[in-house]
Amino acid sequence: MCPTSSFFWLDAQDFLSITGEEPTFLFQSDEPLYLTLSMDVKTVIRDNEEKENHPAEISYTDQEGNEIKLPVEIRVRGNFRKDPVNCDFPPLRLNFSDTTVINTVFAGQDKIKLVTHCRTRQDLYEQNVLKEYLAYKLYNLFTEESFRVRLVHLTYADTRGKIDTLEKMAFLIEPNQQMARRNGCEILEVKRIQQERTNRHKINVLSVFQFMIGNTDWSVPALHNVVLLKEDSTDLPIAVPYDFDWCGMVNSPYAVPAEFLPIESVRTRLYRGFCRPDEEVQLALDEFRQRRDEIYHTCSSVPFLTEKELNKTIKYMDQFFKTIENPNAVELAFHRNCRE
């Protein structure tokens, strides 16, 4: 297990004097950020090959009512969602200068992933952003070895004045190295490490979590939507999941199961963990039973999620808990359909 770094209990001045780095507070709040991103919208969204960094500006009003303006470089990122055939608005990466973010909400930040709304003219996609944000918040309930996120109410302003101002929900994802340092670990960038060679209980919980949200779009050996944390050479790596837009809970219009899987819809849950003795399965399931109220509360606490989408999410969670409280359903889901 990676020990939690004591640095994050220090005040800002002590942290800076010890580490030479600014402390990071961006992901320590659940309050949505209200930001304006000013950029050449057309040029950015057409750069689907990620060829360039594009100049932009982020502005917001701080707690004292002062308008803060920060220069930032924007770069298109992603795989599926950067293709204009799939999304007319790609995910972005924000690249800040170290010197400009001092004493701002972005203090200590450098490059940050921004998850955007995919398609502008359909409100469903904005709701999908909120549900993917929820997936991260749900996994945070189980372990500190998880990516923190920050919800953003984002106003896109076109610097050329040719595209109308657009307001959409988005969220920021804690950078890999920052998440690793917070847990006293390093990122292990080695492929072909099997699930069996990672921390056993933690991969069991992760696998059940992916089952809960209906996600089959992940792989430890391929490092597909998973990063590995490592403290030292003697400890087994810890798998940390990310990128949940293809899960059944989100139910993005473009999401379909892989062809080799025996399901036709991402809404159909399929356990992708390995077969375990029942006592190990029950130990992992107990973590979910114990957090049942927290899970429902977290679902109900997502700002801007419509009542319709919340009800869908609650019903999807109901199905999960009905499964794990039924011995026959547990046998089918986690023993007969587990991976050998």
pLDDT at 233 over 80: no
- In this structure, the answer to whether residues 92 and 215 fall within a common structural domain is no
- In this structure, the answer to whether residues 189 and 332 fall within a common structural domain is yes
Burial class (CB in 10 A: 0-12, 13-18, 19+), 262: exposed
127 found inside a domain: no
Banded pLDDT at 1 (limits 50, 70, 90): low
As for how many domains the chain has, the answer is 2
17 found inside a domain: yes
Task: Give the predicted TM-score (pTM) of the model.
Answer: 0.93
At residue 232, the pLDDT reads: 80
- In this structure, the answer to whether residues 173 and 263 fall within a common structural domain is no
Q: Tell me the backbone φ, ψ of residue 47, rounded to 5 degrees.
A: -85, 60
- In this structure, the answer to whether residues 262 and 221 fall within a common structural domain is yes
Cα torsion 76, 78, 79, 82 to 10°: value is -40
Residues in the chain: 340
For residues 147 and 183, the answer to whether their CB atoms sit within 8 Å is no
- In this structure, the answer to whether residues 150 and 223 fall within a common structural domain is no
Local structure of residue 39 (DSSP, 8 states): E
Q: Which residues contact 29 (CB under 8 A, 6 or more apart)?
A: 150
Residue with the bigger pLDDT between 83 and 233: it is 83
105 found inside a domain: yes
pLDDT tens column, 61-113: 999 999 999 999 999 998 899 999 999 999 999 999 988 999 999 999 999 99
88 found inside a domain: yes
- In this structure, the answer to whether residues 37 and 173 fall within a common structural domain is yes
pLDDT tens column, 283-300: 999 999 999 999 999 999
Domain boundaries, position 158 = 6-116+146-178
- In this structure, the answer to whether residues 71 and 173 fall within a common structural domain is yes
Partners of residue 149 on adjacent β-strands: 173
Banded pLDDT at 3 (limits 50, 70, 90): low
121 found inside a domain: no
Structure tokens at 335: 């023993």
